[in-house]
Structure 1
């Protein structure tokens, strides 16, 4: 059985005054998450707002517990970033049989 997990992070950015400034904050976060956790990650919401971002993270695996652990670790990592304020997280884990 295949497990699919994803999380959507709604974040508020600190001292950012333009979309260009937003990109300079979000791109390194996305790259760090991708490199550190080997997951798919992208800015998925609020692309037109300069102080807000939606970050989506997804992964596939054979073990539900592994997905839970990785998503927990990604959430802690995003929450610990000083340039971001984590407003909310939505998470879902489903099987290929759902």
Structure 2
């Protein structure tokens, strides 16, 4: 069994309040979950309205599938016009590690 996750540091565009931040982040997380069947959450920078730390994780039977999904998730976030991807960090582990 393979376990993998990816964390994103993103800068939000024309956002001036935490309420506006939620209106950008919630649909993005929902779309990631729907499209890629991953677990997602806002994992940091909760009190900053123009920055967000987002995380996505999944479990897969083989590493190739895990890498394929994490690559697709990263491309999706990088391509969103409402956010600027500042960095992405990922990790994968085998259950026997």
Specify if TM > 0.5. Answer: yes
Distance 2:66 2:32 in 1: 15
Report 1:1-98 matches (<5 A): 2-98=1-97
Give how far 1:97 is off. 1.0
Distance 1:56 1:97 in 2: 23
Q: Which runs of 5+ in 2 are unaligned?
A: none
Could you tell me the TM-score, scaled by structure 1's length?
Answer: 0.98
CA RMSD after TM alignment: 0.4
Instruction: Report how many aligned residue pairs link the two structures.
Output: 97
Distance 2:47 2:59 in 1: 29
Q: Which runs of 5+ in 1 are unaligned?
A: none
Distance 2:6 2:74 in 1: 8
